[in-house]
Chains A and B, each alone.
Chain A
């Protein structure tokens, strides 16, 4: 009797408007590959999320290895040995594969990363999984298949005993799939229990020991794979009581309005051809990855495409949504929250957005016309809202969808493309929407409806076109179609590459996932190189044009300026690396200087208390910043701007002139030298050495980088995001304080005129150094180059005897270079 790994008992889960799971009961044995199949919306994802602790069920129980799950949280699931690989990878693009594998669980000794061990362990796992690329590579530069391997490695390194894989093979080429299957089988051999969610039945039959079929949130059957076949599974997946009433189909349809021939839209649409007639509802069906949405995007002009599109017989090129709307095409996108509505605007404003042209005189909006139109649509579609001025975010899902539909109706389109028009909507609203669509078609509109719900497709469509892997592979008349037939076409054996001709496998496999914009970007490692090259160029220019440039005195001068700026820039870099910014460093410097100089008061004996006081000031201001950002949730720009103002006010309340003084010994700190090297040299080297060490070799630095890369991913990996963000402000405050000590030594006292310019200069240095706003990229080493660049630039401008304004212009141009560099990355 084998042990049971997972026991799911009468689990239910509902969301507003839809019941995702109804009393599902099944079990997964230890050491088996258990496939879960079902069409879109069957409840697979929800079930997986519950098992992974990302959601909690409304009712029922889940037990893992015999122990009931009390707490549904990602951490708890991980501790229980569950690992899940989502369709959308949770990876930090600019971190190496090895770092990603161990994110949140880095091998360390007292905070110091044991990178060799990390690399070794990652290598071992990744090689076993068959990844050829080096584990040092940033994960953003790996192919999608390799990225998936990293995810698997992550799961394995967590000593997971249950692995959940959600549609793992959709993005892979044939070879990569084979590799994946081999891995999965090996894992089973090792005793891991695997839940494999997929709608590709060939995979399912290849791998699974048992198959569970879900339909409409209910468990249909669990069967041994050996004891069943494709057809039976298909029958289980489909075939339902049609409790949904659909309007009758069209009696006749009009002429062809849109014809697409051999449409190609890399990478997901390989070859699509179909015709759409006036008065017809054409259903477009296909499973995940078939390319339906991409086809719609190509028709609407948001995706570049090749091939022919004809409207009313004339060949057209539609390159933008604006152009499409002009041609009376409307596109109701799948993701209404992200792409369909501006949530902060009212119902009225959303409804009229694409059709403002029809209600304007000159540039003015004709309010009365607008109101009339809006009222009409609200009445027509039955949008439930207290009035047209309510913010659209407050409406229910169904009503929001109606607003989206209404907005397109107001553009009076000839062609309406709708992508999942009734997703996430309650039954009642669905019926209303179906009725509206049919009426529109009867009135002559041509409707292309993409849907993953078979009943909907079958119930609504006059004709059905089926897509599979980027191609239109079948057409059925609405009256003749059945679920089985449609499914059969959609699920045919995979024989070809899922790629458009001429597309390299790696690029083709990318971008499968439809969620807007989450791409792992390709990287360039040349930023630091470019900055150092620029620095070298300036250096050479200096040597050639100024005879005293290389003199010890001059170099010392450069280093001294770089020392102060460098320390501040280090702190700023840490703050920016985590995605923030610190505008208050200038005022912090002034206050810290004042504290130090006042306490020292000319005596070397008080150096230590003065230093502590200065650092204390820096930490306090940093804490205020951190609290404002993390606690009060104020944007860092605004928070540090406000704190800067407050601190500056404090400075001026204390004094307008210089305060404090220092002793001889402290003066030597900035003026001293060891051999030929001035103290500034050691300070610069020391500060950056520490910074580089901390950011690259400690857990803390790794976490800062991860938080900048993606807070979500970091959080899921167990990184304490809020603490990390808070701490970066402490760091920048402390660094400003240390810089203040150096400046106090250099100037001999504290004065309000010293400090403010460091804020902007430090930000510029960090930007040039390759760490952009938003962080998660770049290296402190680049910041060193940035600091030196600014210092040398200042020095050269003096040496070249240019009038003062050139410094401003030069700084602007340096910034421009930074812009160009950062753009190179993106």
Chain B
């Protein structure tokens, strides 16, 4: 809740600043959205990836909540398409949504490069585009909300370095190979580890945030390495899989990094794992909608919005863990309790 307030105030301050200085002066780093002013109610569109895993589902829920409840008087409809990580399909989806006359378009891109043309065309057609999470290799968009992934990676590495004061061998589990998201996190990890030369990466795998793949990769690493001192996973689901592999092999569970996924918290509690969790960032969807409302009212918005990272360690576990909810819940979110109970209640 706190971060959103922070962000909103930031936007509010800036917006006020703009109006204070005159409507046609837009600060650097802000996008001038006066051209997009339209009368409410608005038709929103989202060219999404599909609710293919827990994170995406909660992400989608934030969108829906924001549009259907929080801003319900502003929006007349919300059209969502899912491309299942198929960039060509997503291009078609963007075109279809534009053709349907959406007033604002949210895109969580499947890949940075292929979507460039579609996003630019949408903007050229007069539809403001807000990018969520992954970006696109162009600057023709209105705003891009994302977690600073490099910083996230850096934080993981730094924590691990401090934890393994005597150095050690660690395994790194990243998300989807080839995505800038995973590349950024990994870059951050490497930057962070530069300060800890006595930590060695003995295994690195791209596990697509799947506990299945993480378990398989971890099992292989355990075979090849008798001693593993730490597991650096960019996600609770992968960490979960790694723990399964460790348990299977009868090896002790070393310090690990993960996120705020409820399943991770459950297993971390059960096995008293030493860990640091960073928020996955699902709620940035809500920020996107906040921005959309600004955009469609003609108020300037920041070009790039960094969604803050919240991190916590095992001593704060009970603050975030919800045993009454299913594994698929992410602890750091902005959904109201009734929605949470409805979608994640056991």
Q: Considering only CB atoms and an 8 Å cut-off, how many residues of chain A contact the other chain?
A: 37
Q: B98 to A553, Cβ gap below 8 A?
A: yes
Residues in chain A near residue B85, CB distance under 8 A: 753
Interface string of A734-766 (1 = CB under 8 A from B): 000000000100111101111001000000000
The A interface is mostly helix, strand or loop, or mixed, namely helix
A799 to B101, CA, bound (A): 11
Residue of A nearest to B183 (CB): A657
Q: A747 to B96, Cβ gap below 8 A?
A: no
Q: B86 to A757, Cβ gap below 8 A?
A: yes
Q: Is B268 among interface residues, defined by CB-CB distance under 8 A?
A: no
Q: A751 to B88, Cβ gap below 8 A?
A: no
Q: Is A548 among interface residues, defined by CB-CB distance under 8 A?
A: yes
Q: Is A537 among interface residues, defined by CB-CB distance under 8 A?
A: no
A564 to B92, CA, bound (A): 12
Q: Is A384 among interface residues, defined by CB-CB distance under 8 A?
A: no
A747 to B79, CA, bound (A): 23
Residues in chain B near residue A670, CB distance under 8 A: 117
Q: B114 to A799, Cβ gap below 8 A?
A: no
Q: Is A645 among interface residues, defined by CB-CB distance under 8 A?
A: no
A671 to B95, CA, bound (A): 12
Q: How many Å from the CB of A374 to the closest CB on chain B?
A: 49
Q: Is B145 among interface residues, defined by CB-CB distance under 8 A?
A: no
Q: B80 to A801, Cβ gap below 8 A?
A: yes
Interface-facing stretch out of B23-31, B105-113, B156-164: B105-113
Q: Is B310 among interface residues, defined by CB-CB distance under 8 A?
A: no
Q: B92 to A557, Cβ gap below 8 A?
A: yes
Q: How many Å from the CB of B2 to the closest CB on chain A?
A: 33
Known contacts: A548-B101, A560-B95, A656-B178. The answer to whether A754 contacts B117 by CB under 8 A is no
Residue of A nearest to B88 (CB): A754
Residues in chain A near residue B96, CB distance under 8 A: 554, 557, 795, 798-799
Q: B92 to A751, Cβ gap below 8 A?
A: no
Q: Is A658 among interface residues, defined by CB-CB distance under 8 A?
A: yes
Q: How many Å from the CB of B293 to the closest CB on chain A?
A: 21
Q: How many Å from the CB of B257 to the closest CB on chain A?
A: 22
Q: A658 to B51, Cβ gap below 8 A?
A: no
Residues in chain A near residue B86, CB distance under 8 A: 753-754, 757
Q: A671 to B121, Cβ gap below 8 A?
A: yes
Q: A657 to B95, Cβ gap below 8 A?
A: no
Q: A795 to B92, Cβ gap below 8 A?
A: yes
Q: B99 to A548, Cβ gap below 8 A?
A: yes
Q: Is A359 among interface residues, defined by CB-CB distance under 8 A?
A: no
Q: Give residues 668-722 of A contacting B (CB, 8 Å).
A: 670-671
Residues in chain A near residue B296, CB distance under 8 A: none
Interface string of A801-826 (1 = CB under 8 A from B): 10110010000000000000000000
Interface string of A547-570 (1 = CB under 8 A from B): 010010110110011001000000
Q: B113 to A747, Cβ gap below 8 A?
A: yes
Q: Is B116 among interface residues, defined by CB-CB distance under 8 A?
A: yes
Interface string of B122-139 (1 = CB under 8 A from A): 000100000000000000
Q: B117 to A794, Cβ gap below 8 A?
A: no
Residues in chain B near residue A748, CB distance under 8 A: 113-114, 116-117
Q: Is B35 among interface residues, defined by CB-CB distance under 8 A?
A: no
Q: A751 to B95, Cβ gap below 8 A?
A: no
A752 to B176, CA, bound (A): 12
Q: How many Å from the CB of A508 to the closest CB on chain B?
A: 55
A799 to B84, CA, bound (A): 17
Q: How many Å from the CB of B255 to the closest CB on chain A?
A: 28
A134 to B177, CA, bound (A): 61
Residues in chain A near residue B180, CB distance under 8 A: 657
Q: How many Å from the CB of B59 to the closest CB on chain A?
A: 14
A548 to B127, CA, bound (A): 15
Residues in chain B near residue A795, CB distance under 8 A: 92, 96
Q: Is A655 among interface residues, defined by CB-CB distance under 8 A?
A: yes
Known contacts: A548-B99, A746-B117, A748-B117. The answer to whether A798 contacts B81 by CB under 8 A is yes
Interface string of B68-95 (1 = CB under 8 A from A): 0000000000011110111111011101
- Give chain B's interface residue range (CB within 8 Å of chain A): 35 or more
Q: A749 to B92, Cβ gap below 8 A?
A: no
- Residue of B51, B91, B183 near A747 (CB, 8 A) is B91
A556 to B99, CA, bound (A): 9
Residues in chain B near residue A746, CB distance under 8 A: 88, 91, 114, 117
A656 to B178, CA, bound (A): 4
Q: B88 to A658, Cβ gap below 8 A?
A: no
Q: Is A360 among interface residues, defined by CB-CB distance under 8 A?
A: no
Q: A554 to B88, Cβ gap below 8 A?
A: no
Q: Is B179 among interface residues, defined by CB-CB distance under 8 A?
A: yes
A655 to B86, CA, bound (A): 17
Q: How many Å from the CB of B136 to the closest CB on chain A?
A: 10
Q: Is B312 among interface residues, defined by CB-CB distance under 8 A?
A: no
Q: Is A546 among interface residues, defined by CB-CB distance under 8 A?
A: yes
Q: Is A317 among interface residues, defined by CB-CB distance under 8 A?
A: no
Q: How many Å from the CB of A648 to the closest CB on chain B?
A: 13
Residue of B nearest to A564 (CB): B88
Q: A753 to B111, Cβ gap below 8 A?
A: yes
Q: B95 to A556, Cβ gap below 8 A?
A: yes
Residues in chain A near residue B178, CB distance under 8 A: 655-658, 751-753
Q: How many Å from the CB of B99 to the closest CB on chain A?
A: 4
Residues in chain B near residue A743, CB distance under 8 A: 88
Residue of B nearest to A807 (CB): B82
Q: A804 to B111, Cβ gap below 8 A?
A: no
- Residue of B84, B97, B110, B121 near A798 (CB, 8 A) is B97
Residue of B nearest to A551 (CB): B99
Q: How many Å from the CB of B224 to the closest CB on chain A?
A: 21
Q: Is A10 among interface residues, defined by CB-CB distance under 8 A?
A: no
Q: A548 to B95, Cβ gap below 8 A?
A: no
Q: Is A667 among interface residues, defined by CB-CB distance under 8 A?
A: yes
Q: Is B206 among interface residues, defined by CB-CB distance under 8 A?
A: yes
Q: Is B50 among interface residues, defined by CB-CB distance under 8 A?
A: yes
Q: B92 to A754, Cβ gap below 8 A?
A: no
A807 to B89, CA, bound (A): 12
Q: B114 to A754, Cβ gap below 8 A?
A: yes
Q: A658 to B117, Cβ gap below 8 A?
A: no
Q: How many Å from the CB of A509 to the closest CB on chain B?
A: 54
Q: Is B100 among interface residues, defined by CB-CB distance under 8 A?
A: yes
- Residue of B81, B98, B113, B125 near A749 (CB, 8 A) is B113
- Residue of A551, A560, A561, A747 near B87 (CB, 8 A) is A747
A553 to B180, CA, bound (A): 30
Q: Give residues 252-306 of B contacting A (CB, 8 Å).
A: none
Q: B113 to A804, Cβ gap below 8 A?
A: no
CB pairs A–B below 8 angstroms (9 shown): A655-B178, A671-B117, A746-B91, A748-B116, A753-B178, A799-B100, A803-B82, A804-B51, A804-B82
> Closest 6 interchain pairs by CB?
A656-B178, A657-B178, A747-B114, A804-B82, A656-B177, A557-B95
Beyond the given A553-B98, A554-B100, could you list 12 further A-B residue pairs with CB under 8 A, ordered by the A residue number?
A554-B95, A561-B92, A656-B178, A658-B111, A746-B117, A747-B88, A747-B115, A753-B85, A754-B88, A794-B92, A798-B79, A804-B84
